[in-house]
């Protein structure tokens, strides 16, 4: 199901082929000792649940849903620090408004994406200082499983050099 338009379905099996036009919900948690049941050769995996607990990812699903995206959305700590957090001395902005800008531009990137796209780039202007003009920031969105034990699709927004 398309995250913006439920009538525009681009995949037959969203869990088997996650894409930015696929859908799902939920969040899972799994212990590393249990991961061998998924892949017996796996030695260690860092799950999304662990990344959230450690502060490396932030769930922004509620704001994304308000923007019209129907699936869980997460941003990396880098996106938060560079695009959402308001730098000291910047006036007339708040975190809620800056986060809205990120998910709103993500929404339009998804609308323009080709069917079954699992990675896309989008850009927005971010002001880091009252003394300098806003800077164009490019972000990358990827579609994948919510977590290692939950194959439902989710979207992760990251900086271009993150993965």
Q: What is the mean pLDDT of residues 31-54?
A: 71
Q: What is the mean pLDDT of residues 12-34?
A: 43
Backbone angle region of 58, left / alpha / beta, with phi > 0 → left and psi within -120 to 50 → alpha: beta
pTM equals 0.75
Tens of pLDDT along 108-129?
Answer: 999 999 988 999 999 999 999 9
pLDDT of residue 42: 65
Q: Is the pLDDT of residue 27 over 70?
A: no
Tens of pLDDT along 59-82?
Answer: 999 999 999 999 999 999 999 999
Domain-wise residue ranges, the chain: 32-158
Q: What is the mean pLDDT of the chain?
A: 82
């Amino acid at each position: 199901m398309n995250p913006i338009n439920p009538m525009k379905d681009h995949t037959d099996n969203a869990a088997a082929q996650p894409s930015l036009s696929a859908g799902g919900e939920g969040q899972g948690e799994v212990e590393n000792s249990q991961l061998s049941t998924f892949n017996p050769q796996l030695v260690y995996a860092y799950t999304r649940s662990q990344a959230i607990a450690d502060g490396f990812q932030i769930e922004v699903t509620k704001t994304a849903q308000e923007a019209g995206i129907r699936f869980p959305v997460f941003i990396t700590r880098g996106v938060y620090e560079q695009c959402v957090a308001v730098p000291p001395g910047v006036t007339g902005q708040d975190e809620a408004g800056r986060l809205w800008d990120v998910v709103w531009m993500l929404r339009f990137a998804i609308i323009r994406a080709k069917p079954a796209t699992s990675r896309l780039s989008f850009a927005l202007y971010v002001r880091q200082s009252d003394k300098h003009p806003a800077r164009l920031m490019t972000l990358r969105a990827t579609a994948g499983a919510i977590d290692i034990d939950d194959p439902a699709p989710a979207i992760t927004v990251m900086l271009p050099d993150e993965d």
